[in-house]
Structure 1
Amino acid sequence: MTRWARRPRSDEGSAAIEAAIIVPALIMFLCMAIAGGRIVTSGAKIDSAAEDAAREASIHRTAAAAQSAARAAAAESLNGQGITCASTSVSINTGGLSVPVGQVGTVTVTVACTVHLSDLLLPGMPGAKTLTSTATSVVDQYRQRGDS
């Protein structure tokens, strides 16, 4: 009578199976973290463009000059920082330029930039996201103002 010796079961392939399950999930998590970081960084660049535009508008004497200078400053700032907008909207409130000398006024600029997600995340990624930022700059209260 031949006895078959029972051998303990081996778990040699279990590490490969665990890796096959865990590695794709870790890669997806890493890609999502990178994507989130890119969106936050792009938002900060649009914040900077809004601040540049508000400051530029606040140093002009007339509302017309302030509006054209703010639009140019926003476009230059976005292009200089490498943001490619599918559409850009710059809204300027120059009400602070019409207050009398000696009173504090403010100029507020809102920059909205629609960027394709393929520019922010991964090439070939579908969709777009609109990033918006608002900045306010104080007009010098003792500076002469022109006609609005």
Structure 2
Amino acid sequence: MKRIIFVCTGNTCRSPMAEAIFKDIIAEKGIQDEFEVCSAGVYAFDNDPASYQAIEVMKNEFNIDLKPHRAKVMDGSDIEKADLIFTMTRHHRNMIIDIYPEASDKVYVLKEFAGLTEDLDVIDPFGQDYDVYKSCANDIEGLLLKVLERL
């Protein structure tokens, strides 16, 4: 089983959307038993809910219930257990590698692993309107489909 963790800043927008969308994709393909998927934030406040707009976009656009999600701060046990760590920005990746250099071979910016070479950061929709969250979620979905092809 491959253990994957998605990481963003607060674990209330991008990484929980990525986690939920990836779980949905692998369930549709019938390969959910091949993966253990979770998310965390580098500056998360444990037990914070997903942002309102993330919940709404996931419900309306993906038919996914994000209400049960609770933020989790990333820690050493997450790093140790993960086979792959996908970050939303280069800053997140660099921060993890600075603190956990032994994890450098399994930490990737999501866009980088998906094969993109420019504009590697997934834009943070925090505090933005519905359309920005929708665009972010759609971008993440496209990236995850490319990532899955490489796994």
**TM-score when normalising by structure 1:** 0.25
**TM-score when normalising by structure 2:** 0.25
Structure (1/2) with the larger strand percentage: 1
Decide which structure has the larger Cα Rg and report it.
1
